Amino acid sequence: MKITARLIVSLIIAIAAVAFGFTYYQVSVEEQRLQTELSRRAVLLGESLQESVVPLVQSNAQTKLQRIVERFGNRERLKGIAVTDLQGNVIVSTPDIRSTIREPVPQSVAAVVEKRPIEEFQDLGDKKTYIYTLPLREDNRLFGALVLIHDASFIGVRLEDIWKTNLIRFVLLSLIVVAITLVMVRWSITGPVAQMAEWLREMRRGKTKETPPVGFSRGDILNPIASEVAKLAKSLAHARAQAEEEARLRMQADALWTDQRLREHIRHELRGQRLFLLSNREPYLHVKQGRTVRCVTPAGGLVTALDPVMRICDGLWIAHGSGNADREMVDEKNMLRVPPDEPAYSLKRVWLTKEEENGYYYGFSNEGLWPLCHITHTRPTFRLEDWVAYQQVNQHFADALLEEIQHVKSPLVLIQDYQLAILPLLVKERRPDARIAIFWHIPWPNPEAYGICPWRAEVLLGMLGADLIGFHTQFHCNNFLDTADRFLESKIDWEHFSIERSGHTTLVKPFPISVAFTADATVPTPEDRAHQREEIMKEIGMHVRFLGVGVDRIDYTKGIPERFLAIERFFEKHPEHIGEFTFVELAAPSRTHIKRYRDLVAEVDELVERINWKFQKKWWRPIVYLKANHSHEEVYRYYRAADICMVTSLHDGMNLVAKEYVASRADGEGVLILSQFTGASRELRDALLVNPYDIEETADAIYSAVVMEREERQERMKRMRATVRENNVYRWAGDLITTLVRLRPEPAAHD
């Protein structure tokens, strides 16, 4: 209330100052105008009377002179006329002014002496008058003076009216401004602040959602505060949910991993040591949009899984700087703190030339190792120049890491994925005391398939420089052990799943990656879910009974064409569902520099167009193909609205889309159709498991999902959510880092 009063008083003072200044100026101008007009009238009258008066004064014809004076003396605002001689004595005058003027008339004397007209304002009696005195002359001879006395009181009346009018305007304007100010302050400040206070009070009591009220962000004055308070409220709600969950788990003697438990666990395990993480993909990249720079979080399982871990560890992430504005955001050491809104760890960027990127990433990594490890019947391509670039880039990463760990005793190094396969050996040769783990995010093939690689021994030796190699499943671990046994002179310990070579032992263990499953503060109501579905339906331009969703990079390993063919077969076998079921594919373009990927994009586009043309009605089409890079928020909106999620990878290490869908369904609804060739299928046994190559089986799974009873849907989802909840990313990170930390470091190198 005080701020409102201060604001109103300030506004009224400002308005008063403006009004006074404007009125003063207006009065001054008007007074000058009226005086000028009065003077002009007096001059005209005096000059016209002079011609008639001078001859009569010369002839001393007082009777005629009196008649002229009386005839002209009754004009508007003319109070009287007098004719004086050279000494200022009145010869004739209008009767009503004789008593008000004194003789000799000073103005007449001055006009005769100075031989020029004299004008002045003077108070005669109780009225303001204007006196104009004109010397009477002819042929340079003076005969006396003509005195014209005007009533000037009307000027004061006019000026007083202006002051009164502007005072009324000031009062009315002040009242209007006060009213508008009260309304706007109430609407934009005090109202939202009151709502904010009430909402925070209810949040503190745990009686409301973490979503701010509608009026909270009204206007832009409080938006920065609203944004920060919303984040704070979300953190409080998250902390409360975790506290409640952990209290419940303590009572149940459960061992659920949470970010808080991981934080405490890592603090205990690391004992002040820093974690160094290396990957090709950076967790945050900067891109130019016009004149502004935007920070973007790339899609993908690696970033989804490891960003929460690095936030907790305050580690150093070394990655390839691929954003077109990345160089502008780093310091002289190519580093910056991330995330931008809440800096929690450091990111160091490695720069590559176009030739290095083409050979290392698009060439050897994604035309060689990627199809080699994914058994999807796409022929790997190996070129010597790509292998050379691959070695050069791995050396760049090694140099960047060695610079940062040169003064760190027994550093902990976590390397990610197939792009950096030979990096462990490059680091180990210089820092044998470093404890190094490499996690392989894609499948590992059997020895026969791996033998295609011309540099199979070099890749294996590079990986075995690590102390720990992690895969998603035990099956992939077994394949790796078989491969090392086939192509290297080494000792395989199948009991402890380790490989010993040249006195160095490497553990090979499964660490199934997952998502950051957290307890939900509130379960969405049927009304909330209906509203979310309605928004999605408006976006896709149709209303259907059943909604399916798929979230993928456009990659030949993801089984997108096979999925669409299964949808086509579903409608052929069950035409009664035409118009009732629509599948939305959120597809992110990927690796478009590679011809196989460009061909896949064209193949999928053509397939979608053919199927939609075959079945579509005026307002409905079976497949909505949204080809773009979608944010996490947008993807989760579709997860929560969809009745069915299809993950039909032809071969996958894990596939976090399946786990993300399960984690998003706090309402306990939804059916997951999952390929048996994904790592996730080993854990999510309550999904409808399919062979994506079998179009008939996948089509039947879609029908089973559509007609499944609610009780069965909820029971399946409940069990899958329990699995994802227990085996979340915090458990994955805790197990992986704990295993790495507890490895015995080798002696440091001596120069």
Residue 716 is assigned to a structural domain of this protein: yes
Closest by alpha carbon to 564, among 695, 679, 435?
Answer: 695
Residue 751 is assigned to a structural domain of this protein: no
131 & 176 share domain: no
Q: What is the DSSP letter of 80?
A: E
Token pair in block for residue 235: 């953190």
27 & 171 share domain: no
118 & 195 share domain: no
Average pLDDT score over the chain: 87
Closest by alpha carbon to 680, among 447, 417, 520, 443?
Answer: 443
Residue 733 is assigned to a structural domain of this protein: no
| Residue range 259-263: mean pLDDT, rounded | 78
213 pLDDT higher than 80:
no
Say how many C-beta atoms besides its own lie within 10 A of residue 87's C-beta: 12
pLDDT in tens, 483-500: 999 999 999 999 999 999
End-to-end CA distance of the chain: 74
Closest by alpha carbon to 98, among 110, 88, 90, 87?
Answer: 90
Confidence class for position 672, pLDDT limits 50, 70, 90: very high
Token pair in block for residue 498: 């380790």
- Least confident interval from 44-48, 85-89, 185-189: 185-189
Confidence class for position 195, pLDDT limits 50, 70, 90: confident
pLDDT at 270 (0 to 100): 81
Residue 274 is assigned to a structural domain of this protein: yes
Q: What distance in Å separates the CA atoms of residue 479 and residue 492, rounded to the nearest whole number?
A: 12
Confidence class for position 751, pLDDT limits 50, 70, 90: very low
739 pLDDT higher than 90:
yes
Q: What is the DSSP letter of 523?
A: P
Q: What distance in Å separates the CA atoms of residue 678 and residue 3, rounded to the nearest whole number?
A: 62
Residue 254 is assigned to a structural domain of this protein: no
pLDDT in tens, 281-333: 899 999 998 889 989 887 655 676 677 778 877 889 999 998 999 999 999 99
Is residue 460 within 8 A of residue 483, CB to CB? The reply is: yes
Confidence class for position 242, pLDDT limits 50, 70, 90: low
User: What CATH number is associated with residue 16?
Assistant: 3.30.450.20
- Least confident interval from 225-239, 410-424, 631-645: 225-239
Confidence class for position 521, pLDDT limits 50, 70, 90: very low
Q: Which of 149-153, 180-184, 389-393 has the highest mean pLDDT?
A: 389-393
Residue 252 is assigned to a structural domain of this protein: no
Q: Which of 89, 121, 151 is the last residue of a domain?
A: 151
pLDDT at 580 (0 to 100): 95
Q: Which of 44-48, 169-173, 204-208, 410-414 has the highest mean pLDDT?
A: 410-414
Residue 745 is assigned to a structural domain of this protein: no
- Residue type at position 178: V
Q: Which of 31-35, 586-590, 683-687 has the highest mean pLDDT?
A: 683-687
121 & 179 share domain: no
Burial class (CB in 10 A: 0-12, 13-18, 19+), 681: buried
Q: Which of 482, 510, 538 is the last residue of a domain?
A: 510
625 & 673 share domain: yes
Q: What distance in Å separates the CA atoms of residue 672 and residue 719, rounded to the nearest whole number?
A: 12
Residue 41 is assigned to a structural domain of this protein: yes
366 & 498 share domain: yes
Q: Which of 111, 132, 151 is the last residue of a domain?
A: 151
pLDDT at 247 (0 to 100): 55
68 & 193 share domain: no
Three-class SS state of 328 = helix
Is residue 593 within 8 A of residue 719, CB to CB? The reply is: no
605 & 479 share domain: no
Domain count, the chain: 4
Q: Cis ω on the peptide bond leading into residue 526 (within 30° of 0)?
A: no
Closest by alpha carbon to 208, among 194, 218, 216, 198?
Answer: 198
Burial 372-391 (b: 16+ CB within 10 A, else e): bbbebebebbbeeebbebbb
Strands 316-320 and 275-279: parallel
pLDDT at 245 (0 to 100): 57
Closest by alpha carbon to 476, among 451, 452, 442?
Answer: 442
pLDDT at 221 (0 to 100): 60
User: In what helix (H) or strand (E) does residue 107 lie, and over which residues does it extend?
Assistant: helix 106-114
pLDDT at 41 (0 to 100): 86
Burial class (CB in 10 A: 0-12, 13-18, 19+), 748: exposed
User: In what helix (H) or strand (E) does residue 148 lie, and over which residues does it extend?
Assistant: strand 141-151
pLDDT at 248 (0 to 100): 54
341 & 392 share domain: yes
Q: What distance in Å separates the CA atoms of residue 367 and residue 586, rounded to the nearest whole number?
A: 24
Please name every residue paired with 153 in a beta bridge, in sequence order, or none if there are none: none
229 & 264 share domain: no
Domain that residue 199 falls in: 158-236
User: What CATH number is associated with residue 365?
Assistant: 3.40.50.2000
In sequence order, what DSSP letters do the residues of 649-688 get, joined into one string? -SS-S--HHHHHHHHH-TTS--EEEEETTSGGGGT-TTSE
Closest by alpha carbon to 344, among 263, 435, 407?
Answer: 263
Note the helical H segments in 406-473.
423-430, 447-450, 456-463
449 & 583 share domain: no
pTM: 0.68
119 & 229 share domain: no
